[in-house]
Amino acid sequence: MRFFCFLGKAGGFRGRGLQLFDFCRYLIDKREGPLLTAEEAYRKTGVPMYEHQKISAMTAGDEIRSVYLINQASLQQSRNGPYWRLEFKDASGVLEAKIWSPLSLSFPALAPGQMAEVGGRIAVYRDQLQLTVEGMRVLEEEEAALLPMENYLPSSERPAADMLADIEALCDEVFTHKPWKKFVRSVFSDKRLRPMLLRAPAAKSMHHAYAGGLLEHLLSVAGLCMRMADHYPDMDRQALLAGALLHDIGKLDELSGPLATEYTDEGRFLGHIAQGLIMLEPFLQKSGLEPELAMHFKHLVASHHGEREFGAVALPATPEAFALHFADNMDAKVNQCRNSVPAQEEGMAWSPYQNLLGRSLCRPLRTPEPAPSEEKRKGRAEKKNDKQEERQCSLL
């Protein structure tokens, strides 16, 4: 068991809800077998390890015991010894914190992106709230994976598991050629990729740059492509869906993840298009997909940025490649508009200047749509009942 580094009495906190430190002590006192890790204890008992305390709800004098994301960390020196200056983060805000000596000596290294269970007291320093850390434990990756990311980071409005289920249902509906279904489903069920997909952002900052953003983007692009395939029925619907669902899969290795999204070394050297093609090759080889279809799929991935100046490895050369490029670009731009313009109930609004787009973005005044009157609603209901009666009579 990995213990909570703590100065002071074990009962010194009056934290709300069952917290990990108390939970682990309970397991030690009540154990009948070997000690469990926090993750194993959670899986065995189903008891929540953490009750999240929002940073935005904190006031001076509060005693804190909860889990936060380390957003900044720097080791500094004072007369009494080294101390850590930290910034903790959750979805509601940020909080400055200090770990004074000698407790600071328990943490030889801390880094942004780590999750930590933190205990301490809130005070006011220079007109700002500050946490004096009295105990802290950095979570293992397996433990952090159990936490709901929406507590700590901007996240997709839809649960990632629901979006992944929609993708799998879409595969079952559209793929009638078995190699296509085997190929795409094997990617989404892969033991390494599936957990990453449930949290991954679609970008560092441009669009869908939040936990679950990659799944949201893939599902949205797939929906747009299927509508285009409805309008242009001579398109290869199955090849287009495969390209839509997997065109950005290389971002799983290009970006470091949602906790501290940065480009990986491999991502800087290769980029997500090349990484995606490399990643998908073993799945293609095992799928039994015809070589010509596999080549078309690779072209869809390679050309989805549309122009070489925007990172495309090849220029779109098929109707499906053009459809994927425009669907990808449309979904990215609409998401940027939604997230760049300040939210308000009504009226026109402009975003700050967007450097990457070379313009400000506007949310225009929406055309008013009259609410349906009660008489119209009743009329539609009566017509529906009449049609049902007609169908019943026709069966007699």
Q: What is the pLDDT of residues 224-268, one digit of tens each?
A: 999 999 999 999 999 999 999 999 999 888 877 666 667 788 878
- The reported pLDDT for the residue numbered 50 is 54
Residue 9's SS3 state is coil
- The CATH number of the structural domain formed by 153-340 is 1.10.3210
- The reported pLDDT for the residue numbered 27 is 35
- The reported pLDDT for the residue numbered 134 is 92
H or E element, residue 136? strand 128-138
The neighbouring-strand residues paired with 70 are: 88
Every domain of the chain with CATH number 2.40.50.140 lies at 5-144
Q: What is the pTM of this model?
A: 0.69
| Per-position b or e across 138-150, b if 16+ CB within 10 A of its CB | bbeeebbeebebb
Residue 91's SS3 state is coil
Residue 174 half-sphere exposure toward CB, CA atoms < 13 A: 25
Distance CA 294, CA 313 (A): 16
Which residues of the chain carry a pLDDT beneath 70?
1-50, 202-209, 257-261, 342-345, 373-396
Residue 89's SS3 state is strand
Distance CA 340, CA 337 (A): 5
CA distances from 321 to 105, 135, 235, 318, 360 (A): 56, 55, 10, 5, 29
Residue 222, token pair as written in the block? 């797939």
Supply the Cα-derived Rg of the chain in whole angstroms.
Answer: 26
Give the Cβ contact number of residue 110 at 10 Å: 18
Residue 24, token pair as written in the block? 């682990």
Contacts of 147 (CB under 8 A, 6+ apart): 50, 67, 115, 139
Query: For the chain, how many helices (H) and strands (E)?
Result: 14, 8
- The reported pLDDT for the residue numbered 345 is 58
Local structure of residue 79 (DSSP, 8 states): T
In this structure, the chain runs to a length of: 396
In the CATH scheme, what is the homologous superfamily, with its name and number, of domain 5-144? Nucleic acid-binding proteins (2.40.50.140)
